[in-house]
Structures are given as C-alpha cells and as structure tokens.
Amino acid sequence: MILRGYFFGAWVEIEDTDGNAYQYRIVGPDEFDPDKGFISIDSPMAKALLRRTEGDEVVVSRPNGTAVFVVTSIRY
C-alpha cells in the first residue's frame, strides 16, 4: 500500500543530513511523550511532516536553527 502523506497516529521515520535516523509517532497534544518518540500533532516537527510522503525532504525550524530531514518510512 502506498501512503500519500501521514495521518494521525502514524509512525514516521526520518533521517537527517548526517545519516541519523529518528522515529516519531504523531499523537494528540495530550498524549505526547518524548521518551517514547510520541510528538504532538501541534509540534513544529509534526506540522512540517504534514502531507509529506516517503522520500520527501522536510525543513523544520527549531530554536537552534533549521534542520533538514528526509522521510524514509511511514507506517501504522
């Protein structure tokens, strides 16, 4: 199945420009838990991932500057 962008509850794996991989689950604002990789749908990262698909480049504004990632996997 080919997914066209993520949906609420998805696990999204991304990779930064140094090759480091990160995995997040998009959850509601009352469910976020950084230790589990659960990020709020209202977070800058989740908003940047909105409507992205595997292979897309994502630019995220963070307090210490912008970061660039590539979406490597979306699953449920």
For residue 11, the domain's CATH number is 3.10.50.30
Residue ranges making up the domain that contains 44? 7-54
68, pLDDT greater than 50 = yes
Residue 53: closest CA among 17, 16, 10, 9:
10
- Residue 63 above 90 pLDDT? no
Of the pLDDT bands very low, low, confident and very high (cuts 50, 70, 90), residue 2 is very low
Residues 3-59: pLDDT tens digits? 445 567 889 999 999 999 999 999 999 999 999 999 999 999 999 988 889 999 999
Pairing of strands 21-27, 38-40: parallel
User: Which pLDDT score, from 0 to 100, does residue 3 have?
Assistant: 42
Q: What is the pTM of this model?
A: 0.84
In three-state secondary structure terms, 47 is helix
Number of H helices and E strands in the chain, helices first, is 1, 5
How many domains is the chain built from?
A: 1
